[in-house]
A and B are shown apart, each in its own frame.
Chain A
Amino acid sequence: MTTLQAMGRPVPAWRTVLERLFRRRVVLVATVLLGWVVAVAAVWPALSSADPSAIDISARLHPPSSAHWAGTDELGRDVWLRIVHGARFSLLIGSVTAAGAVVLGTLLGLLAGYFKRLDAPLMRLVDAMMSFPDILLGIALVAILGPSLWNVVLALVIVYTPRVARVVRAATLVLRELLFIDAARALGVRTPWILWRHILPNLASPILVQLTFIFAYAILCEAGLSFLGVGVPPEIPTWGTMIAGSIDYADRALWVILYPGLAIVFTALSLQVLGDGVRDLLDPKLRKAA
């Protein structure tokens, strides 16, 4: 807190922060939608005993009805139930990937931004990794690690870490030169403590924005990997594997791919709108202009 006050920025209480964040109606809608997705994914499977992988050959490819809200797939499984259960895996993959990439990327970015000697080698490595298109690097990594849920997460963490590192480094480079860091150094504060107590808190806004964006990208990228057959094993119902498994039936029963896809779009969009809202809120440059 002292660092923030030293920069002449008043520290708003959480309530005012939320009030300001939700002043933009879209951000509020996105947050509510996201909360609804998480709540349904968490609560529904606990309350309902219906089995999402229950096969019912007599009810193959039924269109949406009151019994099956989103229709049934090629094995007679209820698409809505599978979306709800799939949400757990898709959200898990997205959140763990985002958390992992942010932690690793922040560490790398801090080191590169604060220690001049580490800057060039670390950033060339980041450049090299970012020369591969996301999905291609993901494919190569999953191929090496083997297709499993956690290997996909690990691969996605490796894919998105350089992105965070770049953002954090840029912000650290600016912070490093500010007066309060000089002051801390002059007072004899040790370097790890400067990084932890004085630099890191000021990186909260770019890190938070990256967190929401990578959450969204990871869900999209997992779906792409599953579609290509190099992602999560098909028996685990993520939104990606659902679409990938039912592609051959799309011409007769569009709902088998339509609804899981819409789940991806709504979730990814909500996350990005929320991230955008956070950026607007925390970016002092934009705030002044508004």
Chain B
Amino acid sequence: MLRFLTRRLAGALMVLALVAVLVFLLTRLASGDPVALLLGDQATAADIARVRAEYGLDRPLGTQFLLWLAQVAQGNLGDSLFLQRPVTQALLERAEPTLFLAGFAVLVAALIGIPCGTAAAVWRGHWADQLLSGVAMLGASVPSFWLGLLFMQFFAVKLGWFPASGYGDPDTPLLERLHHLVLPALVLGLLNSALIIRFTRASVLDILSEDYVRTARAKGLPERSILLHHVLRNALVPIVTILGLTLALMIGGAVVTETVFNLPGVGNLVVRAVLRRDYPVIQGTLLVIAAVYVLINLGVDLLYTVVDPRIRLEAK
């Protein structure tokens, strides 16, 4: 068990280190000088050189990377070139809408995906299965911003049920802020439920062919309780994994939806930073987003071994 743990941890650490290198190289290979952009057309070459030295941009690449890594290790992601504040502060300010959005979207995806996927598996080959599997594929074929725009036109502009965009100031009541999230969370949740439907279907089909399900049927248990207690309970383990990973991917991957609904979230922060070549913000956010993904992945893996001892034994 301990060997498995250390091996898994070492793997995760290596991925994290590679992520850091990738993030650093990504921003440094970029064309366009952020300092020239920051200072504008009027800046002289001497001004640019001074500011470059101030931000450490004149040192060799390897030194810059190590300096940056040392800072990151202390929880310092540097200062934004344009927002006049530390990257960590900018990230924290943007975290609320993104986390709520991702959380609600995963909830919607689970509430639609798990029942639909289970139904498709139980009625395998039936027209209902084909319909649900078709719907799942449709969900994976719709661009999120397009669905968002259509929802906005219908539910916000035409019916006026929800605000069309924005998130409200920090001092508006939480409920009102959450009201702004209903449409974007629905859009994201609906589209992501496609994956959950397919995954649940496969997972439930897998369990349905297990010996203990046949035994339960032979004992004469009602189909309903077999499904609830024997099948779903076991099928849920991998499904929860996928839900966790979906949540992790949504923290940075909701960029498009955030932009459609003009939510001041993390994705929005990255897009703006990219358009202005705000290196520290791009670096910091990409690093945090990827790190969250790696850590959730690790956590889910470890949780797995606790829930299911077979995995632990196989790893030996």
Contact = CB atoms under 8 A, between A and B. Distances in A.
A139 B22 contact: no
A251 B158 CA distance: 9
Contact of A133 (B26, B138, B282, B289): B289
B156 to A, nearest CB: 10
B11 interface: yes
A240 B19 CA distance: 30
Contact of B137 (A129, A140, A145, A273): A273
A247 B138 contact: no
The A contact surface, by secondary structure, is: helix
A129 B275 CA distance: 22
Contact of B252 (A133, A223, A269): A133
A136 B26 contact: no
A273 B145 CA distance: 22
Given A139-B274, A230-B271, A216 B146 contact: no
B54 to A, nearest CB: 23
Interface residues of A, number: 43
Interface stretch (B63-71, B223-231, B253-261): B253-261
Interface string A111-134: 000000000000011011101111
The B contact surface, by secondary structure, is: helix
Interface string B268-293: 00110011010000100010011101
Given A127-B15, A140-B274, A257 B26 contact: no
Contact of B255 (A135, A240, A257): A135
B143 A223 contact: yes
A212 to B, nearest CB: 12
Given A131-B293, A132-B290, A269-B137, A143 B274 contact: yes
Contacts of A257: 146, 149-150
Interface residues of B, number: 48
Contacts of B291: 131
B294 interface: yes
B141 A250 contact: no
B140 interface: yes
Given A124-B14, A139-B255, A227-B256, A144 B22 contact: no
A143 B250 CA distance: 21
B253 A135 contact: yes
B74 interface: no
Contacts of A220: 141, 143
Interface in B164-212: none
Contact of B271 (A141, A228, A251): A228
Contact of A144 (B31, B290, B297): B31
15 contacts: A124-B18, A127-B15, A128-B15, A131-B19, A131-B294, A135-B253, A140-B274, A140-B286, A230-B271, A243-B146, A251-B153, A257-B146, A265-B143, A268-B140, A273-B137
Given A230-B274, A269-B138, 16 more contacts: A26-B134, A124-B18, A128-B19, A132-B19, A132-B252, A133-B249, A133-B289, A136-B253, A139-B274, A140-B274, A216-B140, A216-B141, A223-B146, A224-B145, A228-B256, A257-B150
Interface of A: 26, 124-125, 127-129, 131-136, 139-141, 143-146, 216, 220, 223-224, 227-230, 240, 243, 247, 250-251, 254, 257-258, 261, 264-265, 268-269, 272-273, 276
